[in-house]
Amino acid sequence: MASENRTIILTRPRQSSIRLRQDLAGMLSGRVDILLSPLLKTVRLETDIDLTRFSAAVFSSANGLKALTGNRPARGAAAYCVGDQTAAAAAAEGYRATSANGSARDLAELIAARWNGEKTVYICGKSTAFDLPAHLSKRGVPIDVAVIYDQTPMRLNSDAIDAATGGSCLFPVYSARTGRILVDEARSIPDNCHVLACMSEKIVQEVLPLGWKTVVASRPEGESMMDLVFRWHKADYGKG
């Protein structure tokens, strides 16, 4: 393991980055700085949705659950969730939650396999990387859509810029949109053996213009991303 200080720069929305920093701090040993520079800000939209009208809800991100702000589901309602963390959050809100443990496409396949005619609503943001309703429609699964939040771009902050200009950093990148914003924000930052830890191959394609080293998670879910960070910390991907 390299002996010098190294830095992880978290670019997820603020609350997600705070939780991720706590998880990483408990997992990593040795000298590593963890900085927050959210590149997306989650903004709740003014919507009026009665969840008790639906027997099932779909969540391709935990952001949908956060934006519901206490809007409780019908008793016994099911939740189809993209990953385990989202499923845990849905269960805490009273849903019978099932995790696809993968990507939005995996989530669509889960719903298509298990849907039994129940009235279903997709809780989502204005910008989605995968058209889940269209995919399900082709499979004969009609769902309502409730757009309840937006995510607005943010600038890479001065702490992150200073750290990346002065040394090697790891940037975990969880979405294609975050990758595109990072490319715009980091074009003038020198390549100091930075590493982009990407949740999927699609994200890798978005960040290629930076010319930095990329590594990709074995699966598009949080546990695999944590494993990437741990392996970087132990083996120092940035060297060689």
Report the CATH number at residue 164.
3.40.50.10090
Pick from 151, 170, 202: which residue ends a domain? Answer: 151
- Average pLDDT of the residues of the chain: 91
Tell me how far apart the alpha carbons of residues 124 and 141 are, in angstroms, rounded to a whole number.
Answer: 17
Region 120-146: mean pLDDT is 95
Please tell me whether residues 69 and 142 are part of one structural domain. yes
Q: Are 86 and 65 in contact (CB under 8 A)?
A: yes
Give the pLDDT of residue 5.
Answer: 62
In sequence order, what E strands does 51-175 have?
A: 56-59, 78-81, 96-99, 120-125, 144-153, 169-173
More confident residue, 96 or 235: 96
Across the chain, which distance is largest between two alpha carbons, in Å? 58
* Coil, strand or helix at 34: strand
- As a whole-number percent, the residues of the chain with pLDDT over 70 amount to 95
Give the pLDDT of residue 4.
Answer: 58
Pick from 103, 132, 151: which residue ends a domain? Answer: 151
Please tell me whether residues 213 and 158 are part of one structural domain. yes
User: How confident is the model over 166-198, as pLDDT tens digits?
Assistant: 999 999 999 999 999 999 999 999 999 999 999
Does a structural domain hold residue 15?
A: yes
Region 96-101: mean pLDDT is 95
Count of structural domains, the chain: 2
Does a structural domain hold residue 1?
A: no
User: How confident is the model over 3-19, as pLDDT tens digits?
Assistant: 456 899 999 999 999 99
Give me the residues paired with residue 144 across strands. Answer: 121
Give the pLDDT of residue 73.
Answer: 92
Please tell me whether residues 131 and 69 are part of one structural domain. yes
* Confidence tier at 222 by pLDDT (50, 70, 90): confident
Please tell me whether residues 25 and 89 are part of one structural domain. no
Region 116-143: mean pLDDT is 95
Give the pLDDT of residue 236.
Answer: 58
